[in-house]
Amino acid sequence: MKRVPEPELMEGQEQSRAYAHADFEEPHSRFLSLMQDTFPVREAGPWVADLGCGAADICIRVARAYPHCRIHGVDASRAMLDYGRQAIREAGLEDRVQLHSGYLPGVTLPRRSYDTIVSNSLLHHLPDPMILWREVRRLSRPGSGVFVMDLLRPGDRRRARELVRTYCGDEPEILRRDFYHSLLAAYRPNEVSDQLRKADLAHLEVRIVSDRHLLVCGRIP
Ligand SMILES: C[S@@+](CC[C@H](N)C(=O)[O-])C[C@H]1O[C@@H](n2cnc3c(N)ncnc32)[C@H](O)[C@@H]1O
């Protein structure tokens, strides 16, 4: 099935509210357990950037799993960042997790480089996927860890509808619609491998980690 792009930013109030309150326990806890397998806590440097952090659920989980880390999340949606800041306050993590309003590419963050760069479900939103990989290069240094998870485009629309029913069946209509369009906008592993080759990041590993997710991970040499 050919890729169908979806709108880039999640700026709508209703969409942001639905996303911020959705149940991402299963995929987001998988994100963290795979991240800890890849970058054990004792080996992880203290500075983490989360690109396209949305409502900060991944930032908060990373902060809890890596108690010595400080996390800078960035997103271009004001509505998402408002929900994220509220969640960080409620979690009592304001001293270690800061959110920044910024649009990739060319976003300005407090640090020039990070020990670990993470991103979840941003890649398929970007009009040009190379934006993410160039930002990964720009914000990293030799030895930085890279951990990017995203959706995996299914083989056809029927399979996409099946995945929506299985994983999003009880969610509000706006979330089911978003998930369907995100599946159609996602990349296949071979497409991501091509992107990484073009970005001179071919040494990063591309792995399918569930029936709907792929993972790109490794260290910058
Ligand atoms: C599907 S959400 C994922 C949010 C979060 N990473 C998570 O896992 O819950 C994608 C996020 O990327 C943001 N985004 C998309 N394109 C962006 C860009 N060029 N610069 C900054 N943020 C962007 C959207 O606003 C949205 O909040």
Ligand 1 atom nearest residue 55's Cα: 9
* Sheet-wide strand order for 213-219: 97-101, 70-75, 47-51, 116-120, 145-151, 213-219, 205-208
**Whole-number percent of the chain with pLDDT over 90:** 90
Cα–Cα distance, 35 to 62 (Å, whole number)? 9
Q: Average pLDDT of 84-109? A: 97
Rounded mean pLDDT, 40-63: 97
Q: pLDDT confidence of 220, banded at 50, 70, 90? A: very high
Measure 135 CA to ligand 1 centroid, in angstroms.
14
**How far does the centroid of ligand 1 lie from the alpha carbon of residue 105, in Å?**
13
pLDDT greater than 80 at residue 200: yes
162-182 residue pLDDT tens: 999 999 998 899 999 999 999
Give the residue-averaged pLDDT of 11-19: 84
Q: What is the pLDDT of residues 142-157, one digit of tens each?
A: 999 999 999 999 999 9
pLDDT above 80: residue 11: no
pTM of the predicted model over 0.95: yes
As a CATH number, domain 13-219 is 3.40.50.150
Cβ(72)–Cβ(48) below 8 Å: yes
Helices (H), the chain: 13-21, 25-38, 57-65, 78-91, 130-138, 157-168, 173-185, 189-198
How far apart are the CA of 117 and the centre of ligand 1, in A?
14
Neighbours of 101 (CB within 10 A): 12
CA of 38 from ligand 1 middle (Å) equals: 23
Other C-beta atoms closer than 10 Å to the C-beta of 176 total: 18
Q: What separation in Å is there between the alpha carbon of 220 and the centre of ligand 1?
A: 23
In this prediction, residue 10 has a pLDDT band, given cuts at 50, 70 and 90, of confident
The domain segmentation of the chain, as residue ranges, is 13-219
Write out residues with Cβ below 6 Å of ligand 1: 8-10, 52-55, 57-58, 75-77, 80, 103-104, 120-122, 125-126
Residue of 6, 14, 77 to mutate, ligand 1, most atoms within 8 A of C-beta: 77
Would you state the pLDDT for residue 12?
80
What average pLDDT does this structure show over 116-123?
Answer: 98
Predicted local confidence at residue 40, as pLDDT:
97
Residue 47 · residue 63 · CB < 8 Å:
no
Q: Number of C-alpha atoms within 13 angstroms, CB side, residue 69?
A: 27
**CA distance linking residue 3 with residue 88, whole number of Å:** 35
